[in-house]
């Protein structure tokens, strides 16, 4: 039996990273009753590598990803693998995907990729497939079943018949609040695949689902949304421990729906404001979520960050490390059966988010 990684040792490594000025990486520790099965993986998301022209790319987004890769390579203990959570590119072009893949190639670990809408809607994932493989798949690792979904599909009419060019289709889906966009979905075909895939897994096996969009309905106006979320949740319902980790929203969100814990991760590129603080939309966040407090809008790494996700016997315990801002810890409360912020969950303890209007 190999020596299990203690939480203390693990956090020691994390502390060294934080002191060195760590980057938006999500370190995930899965801890189960049998400590020999514990393992960690890193999570990097939403790099949005953006081509300007020739060999020029938007510097800030490049730097976010380059630093995340460098920090991930320095992690101690070493993660078993890395997940990239989607939106590697900004407009799905070859130069962007190639440049992103080149930066990611410096990683010293096996990396699993999730499809983002910014990667997909130019050529419907064709070039992405050449670089990274399948759009949806599953794998097992040390007793945990992982499922990767392509959750950013939409109605065929929108995808295939609406737009005169692929470039326009990409631009229409790339806008955060563009009314010409279309709701994300996993779709019938992939849901059928998921059903077949899960049929082979015992309901006592911890399940981790990796998607780009939230597999829950948060705010349709910005596509913080998956149209067939309820149908996917129904497929996950028989399992005792389910954790969904998603990118796309570039901000802290967490929720509990029945047996499923939901957690968003930060972007390496930029943070999105919350709809209520920016678009003056009513509050659509899950009631559980205590919003992140923006640091400094003029600081290039503002509200990007990294976090540990510790699944202690299948329940998530997350430490969000935000640059120029207070550390946030969201842990599963076994008494209430939901994730809660250790310091700020109570209404009178919350830090009000800044307004952006």
Contacts with Fe ion, residue ranges (CB under 5 A) = 46, 87, 116-117, 248
Helix segments in the chain, DSSP class H: 7-19, 59-73, 94-104, 117-120, 126-132, 156, 166-174, 188-199, 229-236, 275-278
> Rounded distance, CA 310 to CA 316, Å?
5
Nearest residue (CB) to Fe ion, 182 versus 310:
182
Nearest residue (CB) to Fe ion, 46 versus 317:
46
> Rounded distance, CA 119 to CA 247, Å?
13
Nearest residue (CB) to Fe ion, 87 versus 341:
87
User: Residue 318, CB half-sphere, CA atoms under 13 Å: how many?
Assistant: 30
Nearest residue (CB) to Fe ion, 49 versus 290:
49
Q: CA 17 from chain center: how many Å?
A: 21
User: Smallest Cα–Cα separation from 151: which of 124, 176, 185, 114?
Assistant: 185
Helix segments in 175-323, DSSP class H: 188-199, 229-236, 275-278
Nearest-approach distance from CB 58 to Fe ion, in angstroms: 14
> Rounded distance, CA 252 to CA 22, Å?
18
> What single string gives the DSSP state of each residue in 157-173?
IIIIIS-SSHHHHHHHH
Nearest residue (CB) to Fe ion, 87 versus 317:
87
User: Smallest Cα–Cα separation from 268: which of 19, 97, 81, 67?
Assistant: 67
Nearest-approach distance from CB 81 to Fe ion, in angstroms: 21
Nearest-approach distance from CB 113 to Fe ion, in angstroms: 14
Nearest-approach distance from CB 47 to Fe ion, in angstroms: 8
Nearest-approach distance from CB 86 to Fe ion, in angstroms: 6
Nearest-approach distance from CB 27 to Fe ion, in angstroms: 20
Q: Which token pair is 228? A: 């067939």
């Amino acid at each position: 039996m190999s020596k299990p990684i203690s939480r203390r040792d693990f956090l020691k490594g994390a502390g060294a990273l934080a002191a060195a000025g760590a980057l938006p990486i999500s370190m995930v520790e899965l801890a189960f009753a049998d400590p020999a099965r514990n393992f960690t993986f890193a999570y990097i998301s939403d790099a949005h590598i953006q081509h300007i022209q020739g060999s020029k790319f938007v510097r800030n987004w490049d730097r976010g990803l380059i630093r995340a890769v460098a920090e991930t390579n320095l992690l101690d203990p070493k993660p078993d693998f890395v997940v990239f959570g989607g939106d590697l590119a900004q407009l799905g072009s070859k130069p962007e995907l190639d440049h992103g893949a080149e930066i990611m190639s410096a990683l010293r670990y096996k990396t699993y990729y999730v499809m983002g809408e910014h990667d997909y809607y130019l050529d419907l994932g064709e070039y992405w497939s050449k670089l990274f493989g399948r759009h949806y798949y599953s794998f097992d690792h040390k007793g945990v079943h992982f499922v990767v979904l392509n959750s950013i599909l939409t109605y065929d009419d929108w995808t295939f018949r609406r737009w005169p060019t692929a470039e326009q289709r990409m631009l229409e889906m790339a806008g955060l609040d563009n009314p010409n966009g279309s709701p994300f979905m996993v779709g019938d075909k992939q849901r059928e695949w998921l059903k077949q895939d899960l049929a082979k897994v015992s309901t006592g096996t911890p399940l981790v689902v990796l998607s780009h969009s939230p597999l829950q309905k948060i705010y349709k106006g910005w596509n913080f949304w998956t149209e067939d979320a309820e149908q996917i949740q129904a497929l996950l319902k028989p399992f005792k421990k389910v954790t969904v980790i998603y990118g796309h929203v570039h901000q802290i969100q967490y929720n509990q729906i029945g047996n499923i814990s939901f957690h968003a991760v930060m972007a390496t590129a930029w943070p999105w404001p919350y709809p209520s603080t920016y678009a003056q939309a009513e509050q659509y966040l899950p009631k559980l979520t205590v919003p992140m407090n923006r640091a400094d809008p003029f600081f290039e790494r503002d509200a990007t960050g990294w976090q540990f996700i510790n699944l202690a016997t299948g329940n998530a315990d997350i430490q969000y490390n935000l640059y120029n801002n207070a550390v946030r810890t969201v842990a599963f409360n076994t008494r209430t059966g939901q994730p809660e912020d250790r310091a700020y969950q109570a209404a009178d303890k919350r830090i009000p988010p800044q307004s952006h209007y």
